[in-house]
Amino acid sequence: MRLYSFGLVYHILAEWRLVGATLAGDVFLERPPLFYWTAASLPKLFSHALPLHDGARLASGFYMGFTLLLTGLSGRELFGKSAGWAAGSC
């Protein structure tokens, strides 16, 4: 996660303004906000165990796991029920 990404996540957490998050006072609309919303909600879920910046980093792992899950399910659908795990592990 880049530094400006954590700035957006911090702004979402501080003001809970989901649409039109700002970075250094300017509205930042370069990237879709779904990742930043996820990165802002995960630190709240894991606030008892992780600091804020580490909780925000969990969003990358979450989306990587979700991608591998969908890849495995696609492989299972295309190549048969016994071959789905191979598509997700390649």
Query: What residues contact 30, with CB distance under 8 A and at least 6 apart?
Result: none
- Give the single-character DSSP code of 83: S
In this prediction, residue 24 carries a pLDDT of 72
Q: Where exactly are the structural domains of the chain?
A: 3-89
Q: What pLDDT, on the 0 to 100 scale, is given for residue 66?
A: 94
What is the pLDDT, as a whole number, of residue 65?
92
Question: In Å, what is the CA distance from 45 to each residue of 18, 25, 78?
Answer: 17, 27, 36
pLDDT number for residue 90: 61
Q: pLDDT tens digits, the chain, 90 residues: what are they? A: 566 777 788 888 887 776 767 777 777 777 778 888 888 888 888 878 888 888 888 999 999 999 988 988 888 888 888 877 777 666
Q: Specify the residue for token string 């970075």.
A: 23
